[in-house]
Amino acid sequence: MQNIPENTLIRASEGDMEAFEEIYRTASGYVYTIALKVTGNREDAEEVTQDVFLSVHKNLGSFRFRSSFKTWIYRIATNRAINSYRKRSKERGRKVPFDDKIAAEEAGAPGVSSLDEEHRKKLVNAMLESLPLEQRACVVLKDIEGLKYEEIARVLGININTVRSRLKRAREKLVSRYGGRGRKS
């Protein structure tokens, strides 16, 4: 996400709608991506994105620049996405476990490297969905959004060692389930 100038954040917090629209244009794609990766559902991701920006609009005046705006909005987005996922999971009942063999057959190829982009995205999303929610959030923030361990800890409000252990467990699970498919060469 591009940096948003401090004066834009201040103007938006004072009610300048053009400044808020600039924040929305700059950050909405990233918020939506995080929400989609965590919830695994476009409608839920759209709802989370709207909810995040309502919260940002309401609470921007309390943002004190102690952390970056990026970290602040990622924290809001991730927490809202996790809450949405938990709520939907309860409403829908238990999910059917993901079967990677079926997904590979549907994709029409044995490994990620030979898949076209759409199938590659479907497989990555399915791999993410196979992870417990807390691990998935860490993987999305680290491996997709490129945050550092310290930033992830701040975003999720957890200890840095918890971030490390969740990422380690997530990667071990993915490697054991998918045999290393999809790893960067």
CATH code for position 141: 1.10.10.10
Instruction: Provide the domain limits for residue 157.
Output: 96-185
What is the pLDDT at residue 99? Answer: 39
pTM equals: 0.66
pLDDT of residue 59: 93
pLDDT of residue 85: 86
Q: What is the mean pLDDT of each run of 10 residues along the chain (185 residues)?
A: 91 95 95 90 92 95 87 90 85 50 40 55 81 91 88 90 95 81 45
Number of CB atoms found within 10 A of residue 14's CB = 10
Question: How wide is the angle at C-alpha 98 spanned by C-alphas 77 and 76, nearest 5°?
Answer: 5
Q: How many residues does the chain have?
A: 185
Maximum CA pair distance of the chain?
54
| Co-location of 155 and 107 in the same domain | yes
Which one of 39, 68, 94 terminates a domain? 94
Q: How many CA atoms lie within 13 A of 65 on its CB side?
A: 9
- From 59, 94, 129, give the residue that closes a domain: 94
Predicted local confidence at residue 108, as pLDDT: 41
Are residues 105 and 47 part of one domain?
no
Q: How many separate domains does the chain show? A: 2
What residue type is 78 in one-letter code?
T
Residues 165 and 118 in one domain: yes
The pLDDT, as a whole number, for residue 177 is 84
C-alpha dist (Å) from residue 40 to 35, 62, 177 = 8, 31, 19
CA 51 – CA 80 distance, rounded (Å): 8
Please give the structure tokens belonging to residue 145.
Answer: 């959004």
